Structure 1
Amino acid sequence: MKLGKLTDYATVILTEMARAPEQRRSAVDLAQRTHVAAPTVSKLLRQLAQAGVVEATRGAQGGYRLAHAPERISIADVVNVLEGPIAMTSCTVHGDGCPIDDHCGVRSNWWRINAAVERALASVTLADMCAPLPAAEFPLRRMPQAPSSATAGA
């Protein structure tokens, strides 16, 4: 499972906003601070404003700010806005329409896995993202590489 680049950028932008939640920020300022391209920042801020995650104010004193306290905005909220409902498989969202639905022996476990992922994303807020864990406490894991064609048959 991999989230899209826009979702990643949105968390970077929102985390920057969470550092000073009462301050109104322009898209240009956020682009400079986060190193995300200004058109991308503008696009994401419009989506987030439409979803009620940020507030937009027009005018000379305008800009964007978080619509809620950073402690009340979870990563699950952000993922839902940009990716749609959190779903490991289509049946965990749609619930029906699968041709093997009547004979599926794993569906309930996918629901369980989906719920665990959703709980994990909901448990981390923008406030949490402002203070990331030190690398020593959460070492990065590398994805295993697929065997190359030269070693696949060996």
Structure 2
Amino acid sequence: MLRISKLTDYGTLIMTHMASAPERMMSAAELADALGLGLATVSKVLKALGRAALVVSQRGTRGGYRLSRPPAQISIADIVDALEEQPFGLTECSANSGVCTLESRCRIRDSWLRINAVVRNALQTVSIAEMTPAPLATQLLEHIPVTGEQGVPGPDRLARQPG
């Protein structure tokens, strides 16, 4: 089964939460509380994201973490690269050349490399901005019909309806 690690999943969750207020500093404790994750786990993930220059940190009473660049400029591939222990690859040979003894005569390696490239491209083209849930107020407003839209009577038609 193709699967990202739990830390990468948590990293994506943390980054999308931070993307909802990208300019705001958030403490590790605040993130842990908001997301229901352990503080030690959040701290570990933030440290790795900082090493990868995806977040910046500031010490002090007003300190915390914030995104290093706009959410639309941070891809899911960036997070995977920061948190996965090995280079991205669906198979051993698609991540590291020369590790398989069958590589020189393998008939399916080229297909795996192609599949790997497609998955990698998908991760690169999806930003955390696209994965960030809209604020609750926006979600609620999206479900309220606009006057006059799709058969909903506008003010001029309401006045003319028989009562």
Q: One fold, TM greater than 0.5?
A: yes
The answer as to whether partners of 2:16 and 2:128 remain within 8 angstroms in 1 is yes
With 83-92 and 20-29 compared, the bigger mean Cα shift is at 83-92
- CA shift, 1:131, in A, is 3.5
The aligned counterpart of 1:60 is 61
Structure 2 residue corresponding to 1:114, chosen from 113, 116, 139:
116
The answer as to whether partners of 2:92 and 2:99 remain within 8 angstroms in 1 is no
Q: Distance in 1 between matches of 2:92 and 2:68?
A: 31
Q: Could you list the runs of 5+ residues in structure 2 that have no partner in the other structure?
A: 135-163
Paired letter, 2:109? R
CA RMSD of aligned residues (A): 1.2
- CA shift, 1:64, in A, is 0.1
SS of the equivalent of 1:48 reads helix
Rg larger for: 2
The aligned counterpart of 2:90 is 88
Query: Deviation string for 1:82-115 (max 9, x for gaps)?
Result: 1132101111121113211221101111100000
The aligned counterpart of 1:41 is 42
The aligned counterpart of 1:20 is 21
Paired letter, 1:28? A
* Mapping for residues 108-147 of structure 1, pairs under 5 Å: 108-131=110-133
Q: 1:70 to 1:95 in 2, by over 3 A?
A: same
Aligned residues: 132
